[in-house]
C-alpha cells in the first residue's frame, strides 16, 4: 500500500493508507503531561514544536497534522506550503475538572480553515451533550468548503459503559458514518469477549459503512505493541493510524524510527 498525504487527491481512497500526527493533547491533557513530563520536553516550546511538525510532514513520515488553532496558524505562517497538510481541530475538551460531564467547546470554525486541508471535530456519543456535538458537526459539514476534508473523532464517553469495548466502538463508528465525514477516527477497541484484535478491527471497519477509519495511538506504549496493532489495522481494512503521544513523547529520533516502522508494516500489507 502507498502512503497518501491529505493534500493528495487519492487521500481516503481504498488501496492506500495514511498516518496522521495529532497534537491537541496540550489542550486536552495540559502541556505539562503532554509535552514537558516526557522524554521529549522540548515539545513545550512552540517554535521547536512547529519546526518538528514541519519536518515530519516534509520528510513524508506523516500525511497530515491535526492541530489546535494557535499551532495551525503558526505552522501556516512559517511554512505556508504545508497549509493543505493541516487538519485544524475545531473543538476540544480538557481533563482539568473530572467532576464535569465530558463535553467539547468550540475554539474555531470551518470559516477559518478555508485554506487548509481539513477540519477535525470530536463527538462524544453517550455524553449528556452528545446531541449538541452531533448537531454542530452537521452544520460544519453543510458550511465547510468542498475541498476541505472533515475528520470526525467519535469517542463514546460520559455514561456507565466501557468507552472502548468492541460493541461501544462499533456503535461510535456507525453513528459517525451517518454524518458522512471524509474520515472517521475511533479508538482501537480493547479486548472484551473477542480476543482476536483482527476481528475487532474488521467489525469496527464494517460498522463505518465504507467510510475510511483511522485508529488512534493512545498513551505511550512499547514499540512492539504499536507495531502489532498497526499490522492488525492494515490487514483488516483500517485506513491508517493517528498517532500522537507515541510519536512526540519519544525522543526525536525514536519517534521518527517508530513512524518508519509503522510505514513498513502498512506498505508491506
Residues that bind ligand FBP (CB under 6 A): 22, 24-25, 28, 153, 155, 216-218, 242-246
At its nearest, how many Å lie between ligand FBP and the CB of residue 191?
18
CB 268 within 8 A of CB 257: no
Nearer to ligand FBP, 137 or 155 (CB): 155
Distances (CA, A) of 126 to 64, 144, 156, 158, 163: 29, 26, 6, 6, 9
CB 154 within 8 A of CB 176: yes
Nearer to ligand FBP, 12 or 217 (CB): 217
DSSP annotation of 23 reads -
Nearer to ligand FBP, 13 or 225 (CB): 225
> Concatenated DSSP letters for 225-264?
HHHHHHHHHHHTT--EEE-SHHHHTS-HHHHHHHHHHHHH
At its nearest, how many Å lie between ligand FBP and the CB of residue 187?
7
Nearer to ligand FBP, 173 or 242 (CB): 242
Place of cell 512547529: 50
CB 248 within 8 A of CB 29: no
At its nearest, how many Å lie between ligand FBP and the CB of residue 242?
6
At its nearest, how many Å lie between ligand FBP and the CB of residue 100?
14
Nearer to ligand FBP, 146 or 224 (CB): 224
Which residues on neighbouring strands pair with residue 213, listed in sequence order?
184
At its nearest, how many Å lie between ligand FBP and the CB of residue 22?
4
Amino acid at each position: 500500500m502507498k502512503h497518501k498525504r491529505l493534500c493528495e487527491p487519492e487521500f481516503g481512497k481504498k488501496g492506500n493508507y495514511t498516518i496522521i500526527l495529532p497534537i491537541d493533547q496540550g489542550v486536552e491533557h495540559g502541556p505539562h503531561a503532554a509535552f514537558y513530563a516526557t522524554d521529549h520536553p522540548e515539545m513545550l516550546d512552540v517554535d521547536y514544536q512547529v519546526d518538528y511538525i514541519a519536518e515530519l510532514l516534509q520528510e513524508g513520515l506523516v500525511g497530515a497534522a491535526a492541530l489546535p488553532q494557535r499551532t495551525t496558524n503558526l505552522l501556516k505562517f512559517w511554512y505556508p506550503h504545508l497549509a493543505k497538510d493541516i487538519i485544524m481541530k475545531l473543538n476540544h475538551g480538557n481533563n482539568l475538572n473530572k467532576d464535569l460531564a465530558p463535553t467539547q467547546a468550540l475554539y474555531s470554525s470551518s470559516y477559518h480553515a478555508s485554506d487548509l486541508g481539513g477540519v477535525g471535530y470530536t463527538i462524544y456519543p453517550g455524553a449528556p451533550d452528545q446531541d449538541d456535538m452531533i448537531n454542530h458537526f452537521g452544520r460544519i459539514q453543510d458550511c465547510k468548503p468542498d475541498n476541505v476534508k472533515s475528520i470526525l473523532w467519535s469517542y463514546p464517553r460520559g455514561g456507565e459503559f466501557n468507552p472502548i469495548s468492541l460493541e461501544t466502538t462499533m456503535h461510535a463508528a456507525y453513528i459517525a458514518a451517518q454524518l458522512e465525514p471524509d474520515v472517521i477516527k475511533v479508538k482501537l477497541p480493547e479486548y472484551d469477549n473477542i480476543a482476536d484484535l483482527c476481528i475487532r478491527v474488521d467489525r469496527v471497519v464494517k460498522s463505518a459503512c465504507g467510510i475510511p477509519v483511522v485508529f488512534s495511538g493512545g498513551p505511550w506504549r512499547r514499540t512492539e505493541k504499536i507495531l502489532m496493532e498497526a499490522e492488525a489495522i492494515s490487514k483488516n481494512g483500517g485506513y491508517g493510524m493517528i498517532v500522537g503521544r507515541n510519536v512526540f513523547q519519544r525522543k526525536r529520533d525514536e519517534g521518527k524510527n517508530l513512524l518508519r516502522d509503522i510505514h513498513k508494516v502498512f506498505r508491506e500489507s
